[in-house]
Each structure stands twice: as structure tokens, then as C-alpha cells.
Amino acid sequence: MSFMKKRSWAIASVLLCTALGGALLAGCSGSDDKSGSSGKTTITVTYRDDGAGEKGSLYRWLTEIAADYPNKEVEIKPAPIQASEGDYFAKIALALKSKDTAPDIVTEDTFILNSDASAGYLEPLDERLKEWEDWTNGSFIEAMKKGVTASDGKVYGVPYNTDSRGLWYNKQIFKQVGLPEEWTPKNWEEVLDAARTVKEKAPDIVPIWMNMGKATGEATSMQTYEMLLYGAGERLYDDASGKWIIQSQGILDALGFVETVNKEKLGPPLSKVLNGQAGNTASREYLPQGKLAISLDGSWITGNFLDSGASPWPEYKDVLGFAPMPTSQGQAPGSITLAGGWALSIPSNAKHKDEAWEFIKYALNKENSQRLVTASGNITVRADVAKDPGYTKMPFNEIATEYLQNAEFRPAQDKYPEVSTQIQTMVESVATGTSPADAAHKYAQDVTRIVGENGVIQK
């Protein structure tokens, strides 16, 4: 009798509850309307939010310049992705894949820009750039354009900041152990000698910190290994032949430096340096607390010491020095740095490409890009900003920008992220006692496996 009815009633009620619950929850999940209701064009800008939310420098910069944006028909909407740096790249790649989720403008790390470009996620900007005076009249530092050029030779983004790497050192400690307070090492041996002096005279202080673990990811590859490798006169990737260099004296030299630091116990304890927090431990604890003499790290670490930073340290301007990383034997060009940085790109799946481009031109003009780098403590990519007194008065800005003259970029290659993982494995194994020759041999095998027999070259 009513048996069948009751049964379907029960099923229906379950479905109804499900649907109702869904509607309720959808209501409270906040609207995701991207197109705005007032007939205005909405330009969404996606960037990485490190958790600072509306206090973050990018968010504040974006809302400030958006308020002054002359074209009132366009509304600028921040669409941050809250994630760690590594996770951000994965989330961006997922978002760029689809028309539904792709923003109109996205901030891309130059590290991943090439991969995203060859995946077809990004719009080439060459045609548009040709028409933009700022780009063609030398306002942008020429070397910085390398970082946004993909392997197909096209430009996929407009850079807005960069960074350089070098040797941070604590002048107070240097004074205490009798080293010069204005320090410019000429070659690797002088760096090691300074570390040895610290170890001898102040045994409680860590002489030199380099990130050497897999857990620190790209920091190990770029701040440590590549700084050494390029300083030894070698490259990761041979542009002429289009192949990865898997065997060379330069690789052994770079690893030799890592080996020496660990063998002579000039570095931090391995338990501290081989975990994911190592970078923060060095810049936020050891350096400000005077427990570390020399740190091979990026120009941005001073951001930690600002009042708004993670580890405020007002005295850093006087206590710290920033020396260039010398080449291995002091050969030309004398010092070396690797440069990274971020760019604004337009996704291929963006809805309003023209409006997005107009906004990028406005956002990265001299005035606005200066506002951004000043607020975030980064280095500018514009030559005109670099000369501006408002910019140069920030501690270390001038010197960090100067190092960019010899700046090298990571290979704009698809396989770079994977090769980078192998670099980290190699460096960590040397740090934990494997001989450079063995570690390099394994690296050669692993890279060959990743890029294939035809993609590698020995020197």
C-alpha cells in the first residue's frame, strides 16, 4: 500500500535535505560574482597572499592605485590566493587552465613563467609591448627582460620587482673577531677564510649559513648551488646546444665549496639546515640574534627586519653588511648574482585582455612601480626608479641593484623545476657526507632520466 510511497518519500526527503543544505551553504559561502553588476568591466588580479590579507603590501598597493585609476569604467578586483610560495604555483596552474577560474592579470614568478608560457596558459605580449614607450625607451633595465622571455623568444610578462643574492654579514661579529667591517671578498678562499676566523675566535657563532637541504627547495638551488656554479664559471644549461650540462669541473667546484663548509664545520648544524624552516631560522632568528656571521641569501631578507616584518630589528641597517658573492678564483666579472623576481602576466583564458593590458601599463609606470617596491622592500626593475632618491635612500637598495649588472637568470626551460629538485638532492647529499664526485655522478644520471639522453651534455 503506502509502502512504495513511503519509500520514495524517504528518498525524496534525503535528496531535498541535501539540496536545501546546499543552497544554504552556497548562500553563506559568499558570492563569487566576477562580472560586477554596474555595467563596469571588472579586472581580477591574482597574486599570492602570504596570510597578511588586507595588510599585505600587494593588496594595499593594488587598492591604492586602483582608486586613482583614471578609467572609471574599469573596476580592479584583487583575487588573492592564500598559499605558501610552492603551493601558489600549483594553484595558479590549476586556475589558469580554465576560462572559469582564470583571472585577467596574474603575478608570475619568473621561475615558473616559462613553464606556464609553454603550457599555453599565458598571452604573449610582444605586440602590445612594441607600442609601449616605457618598454622601448630603456626605462626597464635591459637585463630584466631576460627573466620574462620564455624559451620561444616571446615575452610573457612585465616584471615589477627583482632580487639579487649576496653575502650578508654581521659587522659587529666581524669587528669582534678582527675582520674588516667593510668586507669585499675577492674569491671563495677569502670567504672561507673569514668563516674560519669566526670559527676560531668565536666558536659559539655559526660562521656561514647556506641553505643546503631538499626541504628548503628552490632556496637551496638558487641561493646556494647556482650562486656557486655560476661563480665557478659554469652554467646549468648550455644555450648554444640546448642541452643540460651534467658533468663539468664547475659542478665539482661548486660542490667542493659545500663540502668544505661542512667538513670544517663552518656551517650551521645539519639538523637546523636540513628542514623546511631553515631559511627563516637563519634570517629571522640567527642573524638578528647575533648567532650568525655570514649568510649567503637574497636581498629581500631585510623585509623581515622592518617594523611590519616577521622579526623587527631596527638596528639591521648598521649591523648588517651586504657583500657581493665573488667568483671562485676572482676571475671576471669578479662577482656574481642570480636574479629572480615577479612579473604581471595576462592569462590566455582571461576575459578582458585589452583592459588588463591598459591597467598593467598604468600599474607599472614609474610612479606606481616605485610605490610597490618601496612598500615591499624589493628591488626595482626600472632604471628610472633605481636612480630616484626616494628609492636609493632605502638601506641596501642601491647596492643590491648594483649587483644586478652581473645578474644571471635561471634557464627558461620547462624541465627546470624538475632539475632543480635533483640539484637539491645533490647538494643535500654532499652536505651529509657524500663525495662531490659521487653526488655529481648521481645528478648526471637523474637529470638524464628526466630530460633524456639527447638533452644532456658533458663538459
Closest contact distance (angstroms) between CB of 185 and another protein is: 30
Contact 265, 130 (CB under 8 A): no
Closest contact distance (angstroms) between CB of 190 and another protein is: 31
Closest contact distance (angstroms) between CB of 404 and another protein is: 27
CA angle 213, 223, 60 (to 5 degrees): 105
Closest contact distance (angstroms) between CB of 89 and another protein is: 7
Contact 447, 456 (CB under 8 A): yes
Closest contact distance (angstroms) between CB of 182 and another protein is: 32
Q: CA-CA distance, 67 to 392, in Å (whole number)?
A: 27
Dihedral angle, C-alpha 202, 208, 209, 212, nearest 10 °: -130
Which is nearer to another protein, 232 or 447 (by Cβ)?
447
Closest contact distance (angstroms) between CB of 364 and another protein is: 24
Which is nearer to another protein, 323 or 350 (by Cβ)?
350
Contact 96, 102 (CB under 8 A): yes
Concatenating the DSSP letter of every residue in 188-211 gives: HHHHHHHHHHHHHH-TTSEEEE--
What 3-state class would DSSP assign to 345? Answer: strand
C-alpha cell at 109: 614568478
Closest contact distance (angstroms) between CB of 23 and another protein is: 8
Which is nearer to another protein, 217 or 321 (by Cβ)?
217
Closest contact distance (angstroms) between CB of 47 and another protein is: 12
Closest contact distance (angstroms) between CB of 260 and another protein is: 20
Which is nearer to another protein, 51 or 138 (by Cβ)?
51
What is the dihedral sign for C-alpha 453, 454, 455, 459?
Answer: positive
Q: CA-CA distance, 59 to 44, in Å (whole number)?
A: 12
Closest contact distance (angstroms) between CB of 441 and another protein is: 13
Which is nearer to another protein, 194 or 287 (by Cβ)?
287
Which is nearer to another protein, 8 or 136 (by Cβ)?
8
Which is nearer to another protein, 79 or 179 (by Cβ)?
79
Which is nearer to another protein, 1 or 332 (by Cβ)?
1
Q: Which amino acid is at 132?
A: W
Q: CA-CA distance, 207 to 194, in Å (whole number)?
A: 8
Dihedral angle, C-alpha 103, 147, 109, 212, nearest 10 °: 170
Concatenating the DSSP letter of every residue in 203-262 gives: TTSEEEE---SSTTTHHIIIIIIIHHHHHTT--SEETTTTEEEEE-HHHHHHHHHHHHHH
Which is nearer to another protein, 44 or 335 (by Cβ)?
44
Other C-beta atoms closer than 10 Å to the C-beta of 433 total 11
Residue with cell 673577531: 177
CA distances (Å), origin 276, targets 210, 211, 282, 299, 419: 13, 10, 12, 20, 19
Q: CA-CA distance, 373 to 397, in Å (whole number)?
A: 10
Which is nearer to another protein, 81 or 457 (by Cβ)?
81
Closest contact distance (angstroms) between CB of 317 and another protein is: 22
Which is nearer to another protein, 189 or 418 (by Cβ)?
418
